[in-house]
């Protein structure tokens, strides 16, 4: 039941609206996330509860009667409008507080940048980016005017990260800071990007190779093990599909039925779901189609091809495929979910397929984002042949055939 001024004035400390006596704070709801808290001392405080990117959050809207019921509702409606525009009111409030003190502080500009660009990021990347800044930069440089931060000061903050053995994180934080500076320059809040002076200042990050099986005989054993997986049907199906499409684990887990065209044997992944933010086409082999048709009666009416066991509104977790591989007895230094990509890349190159077609199918960045955005269908006929040949090759290995990779360039 919506609140009214008459009802609000009747609320008393220690007595709930239903007459229950309590010594604690109690809440009375209004509408659309707005509610009133009545404290043990009789104070009445407005609160607005909302969800942003699946996380529940809470904001204070003032004290009654200083903030009337009408004003509280107006504030709530303004906040709901921000949410529909993919803006987190809590983050925006932080920026406004910082801006009132120093609109050009690094933290104020960084949070403004974060709000503006995170609308196109995944939930995980959005949270991770802010955590990097909160833990590694804001405590030392957050309050400084962004124009007065010098390269040595920024390097000192990065050295703290490096010295604790997190060199990869140091490089990542430098990239984030550079993006913040670029944003500040384009918006007139800074004169130059100080982070560019630090190119080469950090030791090169060690390249991490995802464990992968590339020996044909061992791949045959892997494929047979996958076929014998005894976990849930959804996970078993995701695992079976992985080697045939060799997309990134995040792209596999977030697969949606609306992106898959079984009639045309094509999975078209939207740009916003891809690491490089470019549309990606996965030609589906006969084997991949068979696997998808096998699970379609179970999840075909849902959003996700591989929904979580807890709720159909979310996909399986990031670590599901790796966990399945561990259950099959493959150690993390032997095979990983990401390793299916390395496996395909290694063998397809050995078989003589066109290098550019392989790279395009792996959705690797070509450096020029604009060109990549237009070239996502490049070499598609070749890629279709390659994906079917790859699936046939995997099937042959799974059946124990002694298959020797053939260099296509030597074939007539």
Long-range contacts formed by 327-332: CB under 8 A, 24+ apart: 327/229, 327/231, 328/225, 328/226, 328/229, 329/225, 330/213, 330/222, 330/225, 331/211, 332/211
Say how far apart CA 34 and CA 46 lie, in whole Å.
7
Q: Coil, helix or strand for 332?
A: coil
The two counts, helices (H) then strands (E), for the chain are: 17, 7
H helices present in 328-379, as ranges: 339-350, 355-361, 369-374
Packed helices 123-136 and 106-117: angle between N→C axes, nearest 10 degrees: 170
Give the single-character DSSP code of 324. Answer: H
| Catalytic (active-site) positions | 248, 275, 338, 341, 364, 374
Say how far apart CA 133 and CA 408 lie, in whole Å.
49
Beta bridge partners of 27: 37
**Locate tokens 């609308």: which residue?**
119
Whether a cis peptide bond, with omega within 30° of 0, leads into 65 is yes
- Is there a contact between 172 and 125 (Cβ–Cβ < 8 Å)? no
Say how far apart CA 355 and CA 3 lie, in whole Å.
67
**Locate tokens 């997986």: which residue?**
229
* Burial of 272 per CB tally in 10 Å (0-12, 13-18, 19+): exposed
Cα–Cα distances in Å, from 323 out to 110, 328, 331, 382?
Answer: 36, 9, 10, 34
């Amino acid at each position: 039941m919506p609140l009214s001024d008459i009802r609000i004035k009747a609320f008393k400390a220690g007595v709930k609206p239903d007459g229950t006596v309590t010594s604690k704070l109690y809440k009375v709801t209004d509408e659309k996330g707005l509610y009133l808290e009545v404290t043990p001392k009789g104070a009445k405080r407005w609160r607005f509860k909302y969800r942003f990117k699946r996380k529940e959050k809470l904001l204070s809207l003032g004290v009654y009667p200083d903030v009337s019921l009408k004003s509280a509702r107006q504030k709530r409606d303004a906040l709901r409008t921000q949410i529909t525009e993919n803006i987190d009111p809590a983050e925006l409030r932080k920026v406004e507080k910082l801006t009132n003190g120093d609109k050009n502080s690094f933290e104020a500009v960084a949070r403004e940048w974060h709000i503006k660009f995170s609308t196109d990021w995944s939930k995980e990347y959005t949270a991770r980016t802010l955590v990097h800044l909160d833990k590694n930069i804001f405590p030392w440089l957050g309050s400084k005017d962004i124009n007065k931060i010098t390269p040595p000061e920024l390097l000192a903050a990065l050295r703290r990260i490096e010295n604790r053995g997190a060199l990869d994180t140091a490089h990542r934080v430098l990239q984030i800071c550079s993006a913040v500076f670029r944003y500040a320059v384009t918006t007139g809040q800074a004169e130059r990007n100080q982070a560019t002076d630090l190119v080469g200042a950090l030791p090169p990050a060690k390249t991490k190779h995802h464990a992968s099986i590339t020996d044909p005989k061992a791949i045959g054993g892997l494929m047979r093990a996958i076929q014998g997986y005894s976990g849930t049907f959804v996970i078993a199906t995701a695992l079976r599909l992985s080697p045939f499409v060799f997309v990134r684990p995040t792209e596999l887990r977030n697969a949606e039925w609306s992106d898959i065209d079984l009639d045309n044997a094509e999975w078209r992944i939207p740009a916003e779901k891809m690491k490089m933010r470019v549309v990606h086409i996965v030609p589906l082999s006969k084997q991949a189609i068979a696997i998808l048709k096998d699970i379609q009666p179970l999840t075909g009416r849902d959003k996700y091809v591989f929904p979580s066991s807890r709720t159909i509104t979310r996909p399986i977790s990031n670590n599901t495929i790796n966990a399945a591989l561990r259950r099959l007895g493959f150690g993390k230094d032997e095979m990983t979910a990401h390793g299916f990509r390395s496996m395909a890349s290694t063998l397809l190159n050995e078989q003589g397929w066109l290098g550019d077609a392989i790279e395009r199918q792996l959705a690797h960045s070509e450096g020029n984002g604009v060109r990549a955005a237009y070239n996502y269908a490049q070499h598609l006929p070749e890629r279709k042949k390659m994906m079917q040949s790859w699936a046939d090759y995997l099937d042959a290995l799974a059946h124990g055939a002694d298959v020797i990779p053939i260099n296509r360039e030597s074939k007539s």
